[in-house]
Homo-oligomer: A and B are copies of this chain.
Amino acid sequence: MTDLLRAAIAPKSIAIIGASENVNKIGGRPIFYMGRHGYKGTIYPINPNRDEIQGLKSYPSLAALPEVPELALVIVGGDATVAAVDECAARGVKAAIVIASGFGETGEEGLAVQQGMVDRARAAGMRIVGPNSQGLANFGNGAIASFSTMFVEVPPQDGPVAVVSQSGGICAVTYGLVRGRGIGVRHAHATGNEADVSVADLAWAVAHDADVKLLLLYLESVADPELLGRAAEFARERDLPIVAVKAGRSASGQKAASSHTGALANEDRVVDAFFRHHGIWRARDPHAMARAAEAYLKGWRPEGRRLVVISNSGASCVMAADASEEYALPLADLAPETRRDLASKLPGFASTANPIDITAALLSNSHLFGDVLPIVAKDRAADLFFINIPVAGAGYDVDTFARDTAQFAAATGKPIAVAISQESVGNVFKTAGLATFANEDEALGVLSQVASHTALMRKRRPPWPADAPVDVAQAQGSHRFLNEAESLALLAKAGVAVVPYRLCRTAAEARAAFDAIGGPVAVKACSIDVPHKSEHGLVALHVASADEAARLFAAQWDKLAALGAARDGVIVAAMRKGRHEFMVGARHDPVFGPVVIVGDGGKYVEALKDFATLIPPFDAAEVREALQGLRIAPLLDGVRGEAALDVEALAEIAVGVGRLVRAAKGKIASVDLNPVIVGARGEGAVVVDSLIERG
């Protein structure tokens, strides 16, 4: 972390420009908080109308301070904001947090003022947090440069969680929800408009705090994907899970985000792909982030997904079994010894299969739990455990259940989630140190999340070859698209399997191409001026003889002339009949750079959107995994007695396209391969049609 960012979250001294005596005012709260939470640095209240504020000496101006503060919290509004920030920059302040709103989020004019302020600060070597920020709070050192009301509502306690949020409101909500679960929070930072310092900067900074064990983010736009990616990779190396909410998932949401913090729109599938690529778990909302916090902090990093369910309610077993399928947590097969031992302890009508229904007999036999759990603990079939107690209370020995469960948790060392909807009963389990949820949906959701996220965090990609330089120069000058022959050649050079073809410029060449390739062939005009050939009748398929190929050459050659189009040639290509037509595409996203999509082919790709999105570098295994999420995934393994598809060959094409667009460094704007014909396993896959757009 840089010294400037260090100054923002761990300043040795802090000036409050616009300090107030009133602890419920924005200018009063930070001083109050720092006093209460043991800030050891120096606080300089600045207010020309007072000599003392909250017991501290107050200064009339920044110039009057005995030293240049490391951090300035700029609370004054209106024109005074810019003047104060400019003065901070001029005097050598390392970082300024700007609370005032009315800048970039209001439109062009505000954006210009904001940008000017940032430009001057940068030139002077100062970082700016905000404007429109609620401030930064570090409970590890008491530097609470924030006015959040939530620190009054929910008492702070230092702990292993860091929250970094674009929005002050969501920073506060997330802080409150995590604290409400009894978990300590060290960092609670809000970046506001992100004119300079973004969530990525602060994520990078707090990831370097060794005491932070869980990092929660809220973003409305990914402003700096390169830095966020680096922060995520650093976190992955030190086993620090990152969970992020990225709002603005929908068109309506992006519109609202733009008027909130001036956030730029990000295509949501690309955001998903970016997070997955960097091992960041995407959560739905702050509630989902807080709900899973305890699981991460307990160090749950399950190796697998096999689940054992235990309940005293048969119906809860049924609902848990339903939820386990939904969350793809297969019910573990218990060993015969386990079932035999269970049968010796459980009533005759109880189920010894998984889910294990210990039945309402628990009411009369408090030792059932203690009897059953050690038997299950010995079984090696399970990665995850779920204990569901929908009804207990009067007549039940809840203390014993909780103690037995805690012993079981200690004995197995594996993730054990408990669901209890009665608060009084749940509290007994919580006190025993167990991760306790309101219902099976939440409990299994969290188990599934930590299992999936662990796999994502552990993902190591094989070394990616050095980017070979990509030449997108064209025979025909600076057209937007390469012609098809150029596209195919570029792909082939990048190692992508393309259909055998020849570019012919005479009928004789077409005839020779037919003989060399073998029929039937496709005959397709190739012209830089006609990217969508079939619309002009310039594609002939199933051409069965060399004569026919020569005749079609002549016809297409004439047609190009008639269209006034460049006659780059006519392609004679092998006809390939596969099992299924896929599409592979790529584009250079303005924010995230190269993005690859792979999915169902055909003419309805845009309408049906059955494709996976990946950010290179990625390997074939990642493509195969992503393909499992397609709606046509059931076809991959073969249905109705058909052979499985050659998914590996398709994946290799996607990997090759990823390498190509990444190596092109923006020189390729888009790649559209549709169809990519995929055969049965072992038969390969080939690109049949390609369109490459220059960057």
Contacts and interface: CB of A to CB of B under 8 A. Distances in A.
A606 interface: yes
Interface string A314-333: 11111111101110000100
A672 B425 CA distance: 53
A260 B101 CA distance: 59
A266 to B, nearest CB: 13
Nearest to A363: B149
Interface residues of A, number: 92
Given A149-B393, A639-B604, A441 B284 contact: yes
Given A170-B313, A260-B317, A331-B252, A153 B394 contact: yes
A106 interface: yes
A238 to B, nearest CB: 29
A251 interface: yes
Contacts of A390: 169-170, 172-173
A432 interface: no
Given A357-B259, A394-B24, A247 B349 contact: no
Interface string A570-598: 00000000000000000000000000000
A249 B153 contact: no
Interface in A96-111: 101-102, 105-106, 110
A337 interface: no
A440 interface: yes
A132 B293 CA distance: 39
B639 A153 contact: no
Contact of A252 (B172, B321, B394, B608): B321
Contacts of A355: 256
A679 interface: no
Given A149-B394, A173-B421, A321-B255, A439 B287 contact: yes
Residue with the highest number of chain B CB atoms closer than 10 Å, among A153, A318, A319: A318
A167 interface: yes
A296 interface: no
Given A348-B106, A424-B153, A608-B635, A318 B441 contact: no
B359 A421 contact: no
A460 interface: no
A247 B604 CA distance: 36
A177 B421 contact: yes
Contacts of A152: 393-395
A267 to B, nearest CB: 14
A36 interface: no
Interface in A16-65: 24, 26
Interface string A113-152: 0000000000000000000000000000000000011101
A263 to B, nearest CB: 8
A176 B422 CA distance: 8
A218 B318 CA distance: 12
A395 B256 contact: no
B150 A393 contact: yes
A603 B355 CA distance: 37
B607 A639 contact: yes
Nearest to A423: B180
Contacts of A234: none
A675 interface: no
B101 A349 contact: yes
A355 B317 CA distance: 42
Interface string A655-681: 000000000000000000000000000
Contacts of A351: 256, 259-260
- Residue from A286, A360, A396 having most chain B Cβ neighbours under 10 A: A360
A26 to B, nearest CB: 8
The 4 A-B pairs with the shortest beta carbon distances in the complex, nearest first, are: A167-B315, A260-B314, A169-B313, A253-B322
30 contacts: A102-B349, A110-B349, A149-B393, A152-B394, A167-B315, A170-B316, A173-B391, A220-B318, A245-B319, A247-B318, A247-B319, A248-B322, A250-B326, A252-B322, A252-B325, A253-B319, A255-B321, A256-B314, A256-B317, A259-B353, A259-B357, A260-B314, A260-B351, A260-B357, A287-B438, A604-B634, A604-B639, A606-B640, A610-B631, A631-B631
Given A102-B349, A285-B319, 13 more contacts: A105-B314, A152-B394, A152-B395, A168-B360, A172-B391, A173-B421, A220-B318, A245-B319, A247-B315, A285-B441, A286-B439, A287-B441, A607-B635
